Amino acid sequence: MLNVIIWDWNGTLLDDTAAALATLNIMLARRGKPPIEMPFYKQTFAFPVRPFYEAIGMVLENEDWNALAKEYHDTYHKQPKALAADAVAAIDDARRAGCKQGILSALRQDLLERDTTRFGIADKMDFLAGVDNLDGASKLDHAKRLIAKLRSEYPDGTRFVMIGDALHDKEVADAIGVEVRLYSGGSHAGERLAKAGPVYDTLRDAVAGLGGKVSLGALFWSFMKMGAVLIGGGYALLPLLEREIVTRRQWAKSEEMLDLYALAQLLPGVIAVNTAMLVGNRLRGFAGTLVAAAGLTLVPFALIAAYAAAYGALSGTEVFSKALTGVQSAVAGMILALGFDMIRKTAKTKGALFLAIGSALVMALFDPSFVWLVVFALVAGLGLQAANLRRDDGRKQNRAAGNLTRREDISQDEISGERSYSAFKRHDDGR
């Protein structure tokens, strides 16, 4: 499947948030207004920019908007700017992985072409899509035209992903029906973006899973966080993987995580560590295997060592016993919710649903060896797939036979019509 990345420019590939803030403070000072600080800017800046200008004290009723926009851009272009620290590396990661990519920006087209050429990335892009004005308005209409053009150029099934630093990028992506990945290093604070979609702290992490490499540091950090809250054994790992690897990072699809988790249970060893190693290998090969396992086990190892040292003093106390009971209840609820979610995603036929419910009942009533249950499920799954294929073949044959019958009926009707027309013609000629 072809992946096409639609990059945002300002605040994403171009690290210009400090330059934008400096520009606004210069303009505010000219109007006798107090400056604004970076935290306030990251919590309030938005597109379109007019409401934001009102929020920081620029009274638009007394200003010509076109003159205000020109003043902003004249002042802004005097401020120092640079590409984001890993912008070139992320672009190169995507290129090596076979992704197509380009920029969608609210910046005027000639300025976008000038700036991307100046920073040496214009030749790395497959398209540059700027606007024809300096209004700082929504780029939604522009995005609709761009996505229509891209969908006409690229084959069906192409995956389009927008990467940007603002909530407006999420709004645009939703409106044009593409995926979005949000970058926390730009104009919007990470906690503000977290409510809207998956957030990435680096651009290389944002392109990972689209063919680009996941950084080993990000992989270690993700598994270390999961290891720190992994209470309840291997079963408790799957919802954490779903949230961190699939939903937040978007490094893999939910179906892939389920497959790797099922494989981990067939291998000897600890299920959680097996799963971490398989996921790490899937994302970064042998190095990823080691890093994921190390990240997952680091915090538990430290806690177990501390717990072993303090066990004599803690064991048997009422507070400790109640705390463990609460944790066990929460883990049971989490696993139950995950079970329902897995059934919803995987049991898409009556046979698969029957197999899922049957396996749960067998586990609850007879407590068989899990390995034998997985082997049975594998054989049953192959049988269901074979039955589905035979059924589909039968349906295709029935449709083909029906089409043939309809064609024969049409041919008979055509012959009858021709005969009727000939008889009518002879009758008409006789008159």
pLDDT surpasses 50 at 108: yes
Task: Give residue-wise pLDDT tens across range 148-173.
Answer: 999 999 888 899 999 999 999 999 99
- The verdict on 14 and 140 lying in the same domain is yes
Mean of the pLDDT values across residues 27-43? Answer: 92
- The verdict on 20 and 111 lying in the same domain is yes
- The verdict on 244 and 144 lying in the same domain is no
- The verdict on 122 and 257 lying in the same domain is no
- The verdict on 208 and 229 lying in the same domain is no
Give the side-chain half-sphere CA count within 13 A for 125. Answer: 23
Residue 218 has a CB neighbour count (10 Å cut-off) of: 20
Task: Give residue-wise pLDDT tens across range 367-377.
Answer: 776 667 677 77
pLDDT surpasses 70 at 211: no
In this prediction, residue 138 carries a pLDDT of 67
pLDDT surpasses 80 at 126: yes
Q: Looking at the 3D structure of the chain, how many domains does it have? A: 2
**Which residue has better confidence, 347 or 409?**
347
Mean of the pLDDT values across residues 266-270? Answer: 80
In this prediction, residue 398 carries a pLDDT of 64
In this prediction, residue 259 carries a pLDDT of 83
Element (H, E) at 340: helix 318-346
In this prediction, residue 386 carries a pLDDT of 74
In this prediction, residue 166 carries a pLDDT of 92
Task: Give residue-wise pLDDT tens across range 214-261.
Answer: 778 888 998 999 988 877 666 677 788 887 887 777 677 777 788 888
In a domain, 28, yes or no: yes
In this prediction, residue 424 carries a pLDDT of 35
Which CATH number is 170's domain given? 3.40.50.1000
Mean of the pLDDT values across residues 297-303? Answer: 90
In this prediction, residue 230 carries a pLDDT of 79
Mean of the pLDDT values across residues 294-310? Answer: 87
Mean of the pLDDT values across residues 6-28? Answer: 95
Which domain, by its residues, includes 68?
1-213
- The verdict on 51 and 87 lying in the same domain is yes
In a domain, 338, yes or no: yes
- The verdict on 114 and 237 lying in the same domain is no
In a domain, 132, yes or no: yes
3-state secondary structure 129-167: EEECCCCCCCCHHHHHHHHHHHHHHCCCCCEEEEEECCH
**Which residue has better confidence, 326 or 420?**
326
Mean of the pLDDT values across residues 55-63? Answer: 74
pLDDT surpasses 60 at 42: yes
Confidence of residue 196 (pLDDT cuts 50, 70, 90): confident
Tell me whether residue 220 is exposed, middle or buried, using C-beta atoms within 10 angstroms of its C-beta: 0 to 12, 13 to 18, 19 or more. buried
**Which residue has better confidence, 194 or 324?**
194
- The verdict on 1 and 117 lying in the same domain is yes
Q: What is the pTM of this model?
A: 0.59
In this prediction, residue 195 carries a pLDDT of 83
Instruction: Supply the mean pLDDT for the chain.
Output: 81
Tokens of 273: 């560590």
Look-up of token digits 């995950």: 338
pLDDT surpasses 90 at 4: yes
In this prediction, residue 342 carries a pLDDT of 66
In a domain, 231, yes or no: yes
In a domain, 335, yes or no: yes
Across 63-80, b (16+ Cβ under 10 Å) vs e yields eeeeebbebbbebbeeee
Task: Give residue-wise pLDDT tens across range 68-88.
Answer: 888 988 999 899 999 999 999
- The verdict on 171 and 260 lying in the same domain is no
- The verdict on 21 and 100 lying in the same domain is yes
In this prediction, residue 420 carries a pLDDT of 42
